[in-house]
């Protein structure tokens, strides 16, 4: 179930919101239950959604200060415990309080490397392990050597114990970029394919492991391969809550592009702004954001999902059609979730735009020009849009209502939030 716009528009009562912001989730839950008879059905949906979000928030902030210091000592040379306070003050260390206890974001150590140059200098942490390979591929494509790839990979969801589960696994889409998508193997064997913008493989069975093996063919893309045939009008609208054309988004988009008159140059200006100003950092579960585009712009930080949605929001604010692409990218013989945008230009149609792969904060100076309009074929598209539901949705809130990178799981009686998703690259070859 994807959260609809009807009750997301309903504000959370101030006395409940206050306890949520303080991390007093037990008090918050009691307040919601005690006032159940005072609110209509839509308001209660919003409040129950907030309660669900608190469960996910706890999973995102599992580091105590003791655990954080232990990780800092392991991965950062010559660090001081006093540095923690400085990083909290400069906003690069994400801390909250849960039931009165201090907690830090699970990926704090990685984000400290991404957001603090002084830490990078005294650490062996590689902020862009795939950079050299991407530079090689981009040079090859720029010289006209277009590669074609045959990719085979596996996605699996595992549980601590066997049970009867409903599982939605992401499936590659068929489009101009990728074709000959095949399901090589599944376990359990019975499944159904649910078509849609977030194509999925649905299984309802008893097991402690659910998996699927896919193969597909992809190819490198240049700006000359733009999509001129797709509809534009459906990619110009607001998409609440994450692509809301607020005054802040609209004014910033207009300010950034004030000297330009055509879509191509306006989009390039937006892209340059994001790649120069928005720093990369791992994001919380996307369920936890009220408005991704405004969050990314106001905090000047975000992962590939957040940066791409900001690109889409600012483009649509200027009446430029822009759409979403999500799935995976091959990195160092592995597959990791990744997202990017496509913007419409009068000259070429829809062209790919990847703000993260062109991002200056990752030292991708030599890649920025390439990733506006061009794209290597080392990626897999499983989502053609964000914030859309499956053609046969579940009964409960989705763990990730924005993308479908890691699959969704539930039982007949409850949502499952403690499963483990693994994605493995099984093979890649040129053809």
Distance of CA 163 to the CA centre of its chain: 29
The whole-model pTM stands at: 0.96
The whole-chain average pLDDT of the chain stands at 94
> Max Cα separation, the chain?
67
Q: Which residues contact 129 (CB under 8 A, 6 or more apart)?
A: 331, 332
Provide the pLDDT for residue 319: 98
Distance of CA 62 to the CA centre of its chain: 20
All structural domains of the chain with their residue ranges: 5-60, 65-121, 128-431
Contact call for residues 173 and 384 (beta carbons, < 8 A)? yes
Q: With pLDDT > 90 as the criterion, what percentage of the chain qualifies?
A: 87
Please write the tens of the pLDDT for every residue from 259-293.
999 999 999 999 999 999 999 999 999 999 999 99
| Structure-model confidence comparison of residues 130 and 409, the more confident one | 409
Q: Reading across the β-sheet that carries 349-353, which strands appear in turn?
A: 349-353, 334-345, 322-331, 379-383
pLDDT above 60 (res 2): no
Which DSSP symbol is given to 106? T
Q: Residues 295-320: what's their mean pLDDT?
A: 98
pLDDT above 90 (res 1): no
Cα–Cα nearest to 321, from 253, 231, 400, 407: 231
pLDDT above 80 (res 123): no
| Structure-model confidence comparison of residues 119 and 155, the more confident one | 155
Beta strands in 86-189 (DSSP E): 95-98, 101-104, 148-170, 178-187
Provide the pLDDT for residue 391: 94
Q: Residues 114-120: what's their mean pLDDT?
A: 88
Q: Residues 320-335: what's their mean pLDDT?
A: 92
CA–CA distance from 138 to each of 94, 134, 296, 337 (Å)? 35, 6, 27, 20
Please write the tens of the pLDDT for every residue from 137-195.
899 999 999 999 999 999 999 998 889 999 999 999 999 999 999 999 999 999 999 99
Cα–Cα nearest to 274, from 400, 197, 196, 361: 361
Give the H or E element holding residue 83: helix 81-89
The rounded distance, in Å, linking the Cα atoms of 228 and 349 is 4
Residue 3 banded pLDDT, cuts 50, 70, 90: very low
Q: Which residues contact 262 (CB under 8 A, 6 or more apart)?
A: 346
Provide the pLDDT for residue 126: 80
Instruction: Using alpha carbons only, give the angle 220, 226, 227 rounded to the nearest 5 degrees.
Output: 115
Contact call for residues 389 and 127 (beta carbons, < 8 A)? no
Beta strands in 246-373 (DSSP E): 279-280, 301-302, 322-331, 334-345, 349-353
Alpha-carbon torsion (115, 119, 121, 127), positive or negative: negative
Distance of CA 426 to the CA centre of its chain: 23
Residue 128 banded pLDDT, cuts 50, 70, 90: confident
User: Which of 119-128, 192-201, 378-387 shows the lowest per-residue confidence on average (mean pLDDT)?
Assistant: 119-128
Provide the pLDDT for residue 4: 56
Cα–Cα nearest to 305, from 335, 270, 274: 274
- From the candidate CATH numbers 3.60.21.10, 3.40.50.11600, 3.40.50.300, 3.10.620.30, the one assigned to the domain spanning 128-431: 3.10.620.30
The rounded distance, in Å, linking the Cα atoms of 268 and 257 is 9
User: Which of 68-82, 97-111, 409-423 shows the lowest per-residue confidence on average (mean pLDDT)?
Assistant: 68-82
């Amino acid at each position: 179930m994807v959260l609809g716009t009807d009750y997301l528009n309903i504000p959370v009562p101030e006395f409940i919101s206050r306890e949520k912001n303080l991390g007093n989730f037990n008090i918050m839950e009691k307040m919601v239950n005690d006032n159940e008879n005072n609110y209509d059905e839509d308001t209660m949906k919003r409040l129950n959604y907030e309660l669900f979000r608190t469960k996910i928030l706890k999973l995102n902030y599992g580091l105590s200060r003791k655990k954080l210091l232990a990780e800092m000592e392991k991965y950062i040379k010559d660090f001081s415990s006093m540095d923690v306070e400085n990083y909290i003050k400069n906003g690069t260390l994400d801390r909250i309080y849960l039931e009165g206890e201090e907690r830090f974001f699970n990926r704090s150590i990685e984000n400290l490397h991404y957001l603090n140059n002084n830490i990078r200098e005294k650490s062996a942490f590689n902020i862009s392990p795939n950079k050299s390979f991407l530079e090689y591929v981009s040079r090859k494509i720029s010289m006209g050597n277009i590669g074609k790839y045959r990719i085979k990979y596996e996605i699996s969801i595992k549980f601590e114990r066997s049970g009867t589960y409903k599982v939605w696994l992401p499936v590659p889409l068929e489009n101009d970029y990728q074709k000959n998508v095949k399901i090589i193997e599944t376990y359990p064997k019975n499944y159904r394919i649910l078509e849609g913008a977030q194509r999925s493989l649905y299984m309802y069975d008893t097991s402690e492991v659910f998996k699927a093996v896919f193969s597909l063919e992809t190819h490198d893309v240049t700006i000359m391969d733009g999509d001129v045939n797709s509809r534009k009008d459906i990619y110009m609208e607001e998409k609440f809550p994450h692509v809301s054309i607020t005054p802040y988004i609209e004014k910033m988009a207009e300010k950034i592009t004030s000297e330009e008159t055509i879509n191509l140059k306006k989009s390039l200006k937006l892209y340059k702004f994001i790649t120069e100003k928005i720093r990369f950092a791992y994001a919380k579960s996307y369920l936890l954001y009220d408005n991704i585009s405004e969050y990314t712009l106001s905090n000047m930080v975000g992962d590939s999902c957040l940066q791409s949605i900001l690109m889409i929001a600012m483009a649509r604010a200027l009446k430029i059609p822009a759409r979403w692409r999500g799935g995976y990218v091959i990195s160092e013989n592995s597959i990791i979730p990744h997202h990017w945008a496509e913007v419409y230009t009068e000259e070429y149609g829809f062209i790919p735009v990847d703000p993260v792969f062109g991002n200056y904060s990752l030292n991708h100076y030599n890649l920025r020009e390439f990733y506006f309009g061009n794209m290597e074929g080392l990626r897999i598209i499983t989502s053609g849009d964000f914030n859309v539901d499956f053609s046969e949705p579940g009964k409960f809130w989705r763990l990730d209502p924005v993308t479908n990178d890691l699959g969704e799981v539930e039982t007949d009686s409850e949502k499952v939030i403690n499963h483990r998703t693994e994605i493995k690259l099984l093979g890649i070859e040129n053809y």
